[in-house]
């Protein structure tokens, strides 16, 4: 088996040189899915996983814009349309200086599997630009978004490709891009998700990824007759996903001890509460300031510059910042400190070696493609509401989100059960693979 997997990886590697993040994501899937393919004859001779590892289309384009001093700046924009076997391409846009082809292809590849797990009819895609919105004025961000959409609009559409937010792309950026699309096409359609409530957005969309991850955590804990209430929780990040994961943990009676950003983490031994969360949301979403200001404001809180929060003893950990932010050393430290449950809010935050540590210690480990699928699931519900020209209530959307997270959890258990233990990584990969692969087989060699 190892030989088959290694040969497959070598073949993919050969035509994707210098794309480490993409290869990491492909390898992680191949290691669990190839043994399944070998056992199931309908997939033999179809080269199905190789087809999945090749994007249907990659668009790369120049994004020129003018900054506040009048200087002309240039960034590179992308859209990866990875797989449309089960629905139109769907996936976020990331604006961050680290964006490149490898990062977006890994995210698009993961997105195909994630979207399949949601039970909704969505293919997978991802896009973005190497643009850093940090420190830019609203005017600069608007001009960038307008220039970005002036090219992207040709490639997307409500029945073709429906982008959303991701790192660096929140409500403000979606608004500017939606405005430009509408202007260029003279159409008011659900071409982007994560829209404002008064112009086609869905209730619970901003909360959905974080809330969904917490619902998934409770489903996992229930398999060990446990729950989040009373647990000590460590969270990384302080953006969209981290904020709402923290909010829901607090609502469910867990104690949230940390948040972080790229400059370091804050440790609050008394735990965050509703008032402190309001401070964090204002700090990050309106003032666009650093998380260290939390430690300057509240007593007994410490700021740990340049460090990640995994050294803080906890029961449950939610990595919610970015890829490869939790390595083997961190995983060993978490296990040593008694942490027994890791739920990925971010995409691929744990390195392959960290995941091996989780499995070795039989910790409950939820891969992002399963546990952070709540965001795209509610994006799917936003598309449905836009098509119906109707809005569901907060309670209706939340109920659907909870049901979807339970479905995803159950699919992972079905395909990932190994004796008494559930390998959620294997379960998620196989459940999603079966859905996408069967659709691809039915549609012929396209
Ligand atoms: P945001 O931009 O709102 O927040 C990102 C957070 O991560 C910030 O606190 C940021 O700190 C931190 N961060 C970013 N890069 C690094 C880094 N290299 N090292 C340490 N911290 C870093 O993004 P989201 O919350 O939307 O996304 C977070 C993760 O969740 C991403 O992996 C994303 O792909 C994933 N995700 C998001 C979904 C969504 O609905 N938004 C859906 C599914 C997955 P700083 O401000 O200092 O940069």
User: How many helices, marked H, and strands, marked E, lie in the chain?
Assistant: 16, 14
Mean pLDDT (whole number) for 99-109: 98
**Is residue 426 annotated as a catalytic residue, yes or no?**
no
Establish whether residue 241 lines the binding site of ligand 1, counting it when its CB lies within 6 angstroms of any ligand atom.
Answer: yes
Segment 312-339, tens digit of pLDDT: 999 999 999 999 999 999 999 999 999 9
Establish whether residue 103 lines the binding site of ligand 1, counting it when its CB lies within 6 angstroms of any ligand atom.
Answer: no
Confidence of residue 203 (pLDDT cuts 50, 70, 90): very high
Residue having the nearest C-alpha atom to atom 19 of ligand 1: 262
Establish whether residue 165 lines the binding site of ligand 1, counting it when its CB lies within 6 angstroms of any ligand atom.
Answer: yes
Dihedral sign from CA coordinates of 216, 219, 225, 228: positive
Cα 1 to ligand 1 centre (Å) = 36
Segment 105-163, tens digit of pLDDT: 999 999 999 999 999 999 999 999 999 999 999 999 999 999 999 999 999 999 999 99
Element housing 256 (H / E): strand 255-261
Establish whether residue 372 lines the binding site of ligand 1, counting it when its CB lies within 6 angstroms of any ligand atom.
Answer: yes
Per DSSP, the three-state class of 290 is coil
Gyration radius of the chain's alpha carbons: 21
- The tokens describing 412, both together, are 């992972």
Cα 389 to ligand 1 centre (Å) = 31
Dist. CA 247–CA 113, nearest whole Å: 27
Establish whether residue 168 lines the binding site of ligand 1, counting it when its CB lies within 6 angstroms of any ligand atom.
Answer: yes
- The tokens describing 80, both together, are 């990866």
What does the mean pLDDT of the chain come to? 97
At which residue do the structure tokens 């899937």 appear?
29
Q: What is the pLDDT of residue 250?
A: 98
CB atoms inside a 10 Å sphere around CB 420: 8
Establish whether residue 133 lines the binding site of ligand 1, counting it when its CB lies within 6 angstroms of any ligand atom.
Answer: no
The full set of domains in the chain, from first to last, is 57-187 (3.40.50.10860), 208-366 (3.40.50.720)
Per DSSP, the three-state class of 379 is helix
Ligand 1 pocket test: pick from 107, 208, 241, 350 the residue with the most ligand atoms within 8 Å of its Cβ: 241
Mean pLDDT (whole number) for 187-204: 96
Contact, 212 vs 371, CB < 8 A?
Answer: yes
Q: Residue 420 above 90 pLDDT? A: no
Cα 169 to ligand 1 centre (Å) = 10
Q: In what order do the strands lie in the sheet with 264-267?
A: 302-305, 264-267, 255-261, 232-235, 316-318, 341-343, 364-366
Mean pLDDT (whole number) for 227-249: 98
User: Catalytic residue among 126, 195, 248, 369, which?
Assistant: 126
Mean pLDDT (whole number) for 168-192: 97
Establish whether residue 237 lines the binding site of ligand 1, counting it when its CB lies within 6 angstroms of any ligand atom.
Answer: yes
At which residue do the structure tokens 């459940």 appear?
431
Dist. CA 249–CA 316, nearest whole Å: 10
Give exposure, 11-23, as e/b (b: 16+ Cβ within 10 Å): ebeeebeebebbb
Ligand 1 closest atom vs CA 308: 20
């Amino acid at each position: 088996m190892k030989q088959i997997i290694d040969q497959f990886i070598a073949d993919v590697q050969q035509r994707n040189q210098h794309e480490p993040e993409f290869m990491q994501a492909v390898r992680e899937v191949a290691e669990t899915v190839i043994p399944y393919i070998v056992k199931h004859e309908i997939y033999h001779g179809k080269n199905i996983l190789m087809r999945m590892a090749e994007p249907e289309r990659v668009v790369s384009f120049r994004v020129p814009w003018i900054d506040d001093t009048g200087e002309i700046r240039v960034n590179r924009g992308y859209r990866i349309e990875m797989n449309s076997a089960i629905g139109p391409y769907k996936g976020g846009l990331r604006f961050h200086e680290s964006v490149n082809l490898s990062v977006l292809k890994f995210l698009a590849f993961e997105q195909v599997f994630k979207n399949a797990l949601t039970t909704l009819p969505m293919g997978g895609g991802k896009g973005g630009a190497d643009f850093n919105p940090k420190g830019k004025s609203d005017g600069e961000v608007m001009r960038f978004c307008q220039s970005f959409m002036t090219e992207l609009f040709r490639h997307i559409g409500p029945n073709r490709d429906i982008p959303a937010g991701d790192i660096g792309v929140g409500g403000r950026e979606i608004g500017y891009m939606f405005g430009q699309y509408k202007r260029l096409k003279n159409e008011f359609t659900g071409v982007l998700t994560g829209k404002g409530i008064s112009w086609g957005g869905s209730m619970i969309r901003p909360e959905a990824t974080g809330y969904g991850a917490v619902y998934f955590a409770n489903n996992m804990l229930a398999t060990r007759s446990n729950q989040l209430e009373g647990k000590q929780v460590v969270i990384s990040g302080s953006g969209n996903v981290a904020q709402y994961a923290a909010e829901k943990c607090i609502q469910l009676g867990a104690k949230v001890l940390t948040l972080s950003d790229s400059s370091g983490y804050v440790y609050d031994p008394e735990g965050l509460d509703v008032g402190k969360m309001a401070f964090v949301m204002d700090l990050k979403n309106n003032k666009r300031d650093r998380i260290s200001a939390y430690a300057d404001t509240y007593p007994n809180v410490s700021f740990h510059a340049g460090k990640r929060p995994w050294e803080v003893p906890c029961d449950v950990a939610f990595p919610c910042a970015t890829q490869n932010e939790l390595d083997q050393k961190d995983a060993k430290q978490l296990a040593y400190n008694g942490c027994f449950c890791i739920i990925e809010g971010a995409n691929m935050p744990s390195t392959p070696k960290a995941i091996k540590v989780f499995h070795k210690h039989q910790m409950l480990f939820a891969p992002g493609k399963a546990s952070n699928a709540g965001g795209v699931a509610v994006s799917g519900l936003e598309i449905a509401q836009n098509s119906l020209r109707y809005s569901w209530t907060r309670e209706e959307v939340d109920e659907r989100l909870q049901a979807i997270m339970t479905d995803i959890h159950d699919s992972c258990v079905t395909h990932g059960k190994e004796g008494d233990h559930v390998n959620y990584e294997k379960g998620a990969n196989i459940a999603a693979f079966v859905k996408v692969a069967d659709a691809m087989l039915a549609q012929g060699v396209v």
